[in-house]
Amino acid sequence: MTDTADRTASSTSSTSSTDGYLDELGAFLTSEWDPDLTVAAWWEKLGTAGWSAPAWPEEHYGRGLSPADAGRVARAIAEHGALGAPGGLGLLLAGPTIVAHGSDEQKKVWLRDIVTGQQGWCQLFSEPGAGSDLAGLNSRAVRDGEEWIVNGQKVWTSAGHISDMGMLIARTDPDAPKHRGITYFGIDMHQPGIEVRPLKEMTGRALFNEVFLTDARTPADSVIGDYGQGWIVANTTLAFERAGLGAGSGHAAASAATPGTISGDLDRRAADFVGTRRAGGGGPSALAGAYALILETARATGQLDDPILRQDLMRLYTANELARVGGQRLKAEKAAGRDIAGFGNLAKLSMSTILRLSRELGLATLGAAGMLHAYANDDRKVIEALPTPDLGPTITELALFSPGPPIYGGTDQIQRNIIGERVLGLPKEPGPAKDTPYAELPKNG
């Protein structure tokens, strides 16, 4: 109890501010946080009070704060010693998309379950023949009375194995041009027509999946946005994805406890997740902290006097600072009613640069130990018994995972194309006319 009281006192002091929302948050945490609450009970309090998604509108379980202020809320919750908001793609992607395009009923039903962590979401976008050319997707949805029947295959579906709902885009009109014959759905992942198969990565984990939809069904009222306008809605999701994954965003999809009914975390004690990091392959949140991990390892191994290492550390530090300052600049522009064209794309490219620097520097710091990696729990025990740097397994996992983020969420090449065509006004690459029916286009596979 003394430890809890000390944390409470410290948090109240740290969140006391001229910013009224931080004062209100401090009072909320002092009165409502109880380490013995279940994850579900705590997230119910946090979400319905507007603190799970404080950047959302107030009428949709938010506080109407800026993204930067929402980041301050998350830090204040952590400093208090409380469990943070439910992570995952529900809060990062599905929720903001539903806020922007969903019906009143969809907002009423789905948003509450997202901010309280009752449902986990996944993104059913990419296909084996439609990755970079996402609008070339082949999955079909056919109307059958008050339902849609979906057939097709999706791939690289993060957290598909622990999701209750999916953000699905499927072709509903093959005779329309490819960007105009797509519809966006919310689909229940708990049905016989959906099969999820894990895809094992070179880290040894399986964060991604391939998903097969065979006569899967979703109600007619599950269409998000208008029929045939799924590409517009999907671009909203992609914009939130790039903003959330970009360097300096301060937002990540990971959380200590996993939302949704499949993982089993909702019934566990909330405090058991405080101060822990969910086991995973290292996403943007973990990679953003690579500088501190590498610095700590270099200090522990006596390498900080190496001038080349010091120079590379400063390159990495500078890249992170530029990303942070860029985020602040965007906040200032938005506060003045302006925007920075292509900022999300630039931020994602910046993250890719940081990942490459982190990978090269981290492995150089480990030396020969960088060739060792734990692909299973038994491997971890063996490596931990060796005289290698304590953070070695974390750094090697980050290094192995690092090629992924420059690919998912739109490859670096796609980001450059978007910046060139939509921001700089450069001519598009030659191809079929935009009004060519999808059925007449050459297919990738």
Q: For the segment 249-272, what is each residue's pLDDT rounded down to a tens digit?
A: 544 445 689 999 999 999 999 999
pLDDT, tens digit (0-9, with 9 covering 90-100), for 211-232: 999 999 999 999 999 999 999 9
What share of the chain in percent tops pLDDT 70? Answer: 90
3-state SS, one letter per residue, for the chain = CHHHHHHHHHHHHHHCCCCHHHHHHHHHHHHHCCCCCEHHHHHHHHHHCCCCCCCCCHHHCCCCCCHHHHHHHHHHHHHHCCCCCCCHHHHHHHHHHHHHHCCHHHHHHHHHHHHCCCCCEEEECCECCECCCHHHCCCEEEEECCEEEEEEEECCCCCHHHCCEEEEEEECCCCCECCCCEEEEEEECCCCCEEEEEECCCCCCCCEEEEEEEEEEEEHHHECCCCCEHHHHHHHHHHHHHHHHCCCCCCCCCCCCCCCCCCCCCCCEHHHHCCCCCCCCCCHHHHHCHHHHHHHHHHHCCCCCCHHHHHHHHHHHHHHHHHHHHHHHHHHHHHCCCCCCCHHHHHHHHHHHHHHHHHHHHHHHHHHHHHCCCCCHHHHHHHHCCCCCCCHHHHHHHHHHCCCCCCCCCCHHHHHHHHHHHHCCCCCCCCCCCCCEHHHCCCCC
Cβ neighbours of 175 (radius 10 Å): 9
């469990």: which residue's tokens?
83
Residues 128 and 138 sit within 8 Å (Cβ to Cβ): no
Catalytic-role residue among 44, 210, 241, 397: 241
| Catalytic (active site) residue 241 | yes
Going from N- to C-terminal start, the domains of the chain cover 2-115, 281-410
The pLDDT assigned to 263 comes to 93
C-alpha 162/C-alpha 181 separation (Å) is 30
C-alpha 103/C-alpha 224 separation (Å) is 7
CATH number of 2-115: 1.10.540
The pLDDT assigned to 18 comes to 43
The pLDDT assigned to 14 comes to 37
Cβ neighbours of 193 (radius 10 Å): 16
- Band of pLDDT at residue 246, cut at 50, 70 and 90: low
Q: What's the whole-number average pLDDT of the chain? A: 87
Mean pLDDT, residues 69-85: 92
The pLDDT assigned to 337 comes to 87
List Cβ neighbours of 102 (8 Å cut-off, separation of 6 or more): 110, 111, 224, 225
Residues 257 and 265 sit within 8 Å (Cβ to Cβ): yes
The angle subtended at Cα 291 by Cα 290 and Cα 297, nearest 5°, is: 90
The verdict on domain 281-410 having CATH code 3.30.70 is no
**φ, ψ for residue 425 (rounded to 5)?**
75, 25
């400063």: which residue's tokens?
314
- Band of pLDDT at residue 247, cut at 50, 70 and 90: low
The pLDDT assigned to 245 comes to 64
C-alpha 273/C-alpha 256 separation (Å) is 6
pLDDT, tens digit (0-9, with 9 covering 90-100), for 297-355: 999 999 999 999 999 999 999 999 998 888 889 878 887 889 999 998 998 899 899 99
C-alpha 219/C-alpha 433 separation (Å) is 34
Does the pLDDT value for residue 56 go beyond 80?
yes
C-alpha 287/C-alpha 293 separation (Å) is 10
Does the pLDDT value for residue 49 go beyond 50?
yes
Output the pTM of the full model. Answer: 0.81
């269409």: which residue's tokens?
223
Q: Which of 84, 82, 75 is nearest to 7 (CA)?
A: 82
C-alpha 366/C-alpha 174 separation (Å) is 53
